[in-house]
Structure formats: structure tokens, C-alpha cells
Amino acid sequence: MPKICVALNTNSWDKAFEMVEILKGEVDVFKVGLPLYLTENGRSNTERLIQNGLSVFLDLKLHDIPSVVAKTVETLPAVDYLTVHLLGGSEMLKAAVETRPDIKILGVSILTSLPKEESREVLRRSRKGLILSLSRIAMEGGAWGIVVPGDGLARIVRRYFKFISIAVPGIRMRRKPDDHKWVTHPKSLTWLKDEDMIIVGREITNSKNPLNTLRRLKSHFQR
């Protein structure tokens, strides 16, 4: 069963800690994004999660020249996972990996909010070709894993790059209109391995009963 990562999609630490209390013990990883981390007490509260024995995924999607990324990651707390953009290239990725070998670095490939037609227009590549190129950057740069939207693209990564972990965002059991253009139902990801990860946010955090929703999601992976 892949690791279950719940995104704390809020800029309120009170709400974040409330959700953590409800879900801890049932979730493998909690994801802290920019809106939460950039609050006044973002760093200290992230460290509080770590001190409480929780696994933390810091989703900053860093994308800058290698020296700036190296200086940035040097200052970060001792989280378990951190994201950088693979479009920054292998040298930028290596800078992050070599500066903080204690953190598992994941390379972000394509955002779930990017429509198919726009990705082709802007990047001038087929989705398969782009994912294969970015996966090579992830391997060459020493990333622990790659964040890949959608079952189809994730399968391409696994077919050609068997020894890198895969994290799939945009998990939805019910399709609701939002800024995720690429969503994936958990039942299509049962092939993922224990070292892989699925990332789910609003479907759980906006649920009237987050714990029941989480357990329903996990039931798709029970063998």
C-alpha cells in the first residue's frame, strides 16, 4: 500500500493542528504547503509537527538557480520530504539533494492545474515525452521521487524508471469542479508500491467526516 499523504490545505495553523489531531495515526505523512509555511509561525509550527513525531512533507516547489536553491534548503527544518521543480534542471536538483541529504527530495513534473492543451502549447512536447525527460532529470539529479499527475503518466514513469518512487497528487473519489485539471481515482492506483505515495487534500480536509473519508480512500488499497 502506498504512503498516504494528507495536504493541510489552509493558511491557519489552528485548523491545521485540528486536522492533524483527527487524522494522526491513520496518515503516513502530512503536507505543509506555501500558504501554511509562509505564515508568521510557519517554521516553528512545522518544527512542532516534527517534534510530535509526525512525518512532514514540505511542498515549496523550489525553482531557481542551483546556488539559491542550495542556500534555501540549507535553512529549512528537518522535514522528511521536500519538493523542487524538475524544470529547474538536474544541477538545481543536485544542489538540493547534496545540501540536504537528510531530506527526501521529490521533483515536481507537471502541475495538476495545467490543462493538457496549455501544457502542449507552452512546453511544446507531448505529455509522455515531457514526463520521460523530466524523469531522467530526476534520476540524474538523485531525487528520491517524482511527483506525477494521473495514473497514465505515473505508469509511464514506472515502466521506464523502476527505481524511483512515485507520488501522485490530485486524488479524488468524487469529481468536483476546482483548480485541479488532472484528478485520479484511488482505485486506478492500486499498482503503486509501498515506497510510493498518494497525495490527497480537499476531499478529506473539506469533508464533514475526514476520518471516515480517509478510511474509505484507504480501503481501495487493502489487499
The whole-number pLDDT of residue 111 equals 75
User: What stretches of the chain adopt beta strand conformation (E)?
Assistant: 3-7, 29-33, 56-62, 81-85, 104-108, 145-147, 165-168, 197-200
Average pLDDT along the chain: 91
Report how far residue 134's alpha carbon sits from residue 117's, in angstroms, rounded to the nearest whole number.
19
Per residue in 150-159, pLDDT (tens digit) is 878 899 899 9
**pLDDT (tens digit per residue) in 114-136:** 666 666 666 677 778 888 999 99
E strand residue ranges, 43-196: 56-62, 81-85, 104-108, 145-147, 165-168
C-alpha cell at 208: 464533514
Q: Looking at residue 127, what is its pLDDT?
A: 76
Catalytic residue among 24, 61, 104, 218: 61
pLDDT reported for residue 145: 96
Angle ∠(219,55,140) on CA atoms, nearest 5: 95
Q: How far apart are CA 202 and CA 206, in angstroms?
A: 5
Cβ(97)–Cβ(66) under 8 Å?
no
CATH of the domain at 84: 3.20.20.70
Environment class of residue 61 by beta-carbon count within 10 Å: exposed (0-12), middle (13-18) or buried (19+)? middle
The predicted pLDDT at position 14 comes to: 97
What is the chain's alpha carbon radius of gyration, rounded to the nearest angstrom?
Answer: 17
Q: Is 218 known to be catalytic?
A: no
Q: Which residues contact 97 (CB under 8 A, 6 or more apart)?
A: 105, 141, 142, 143
The list of the chain residues with pLDDT below 50 reads none
Give the total number of structural domains in the chain: 1
Residues spanned by the domain of 80:
3-219
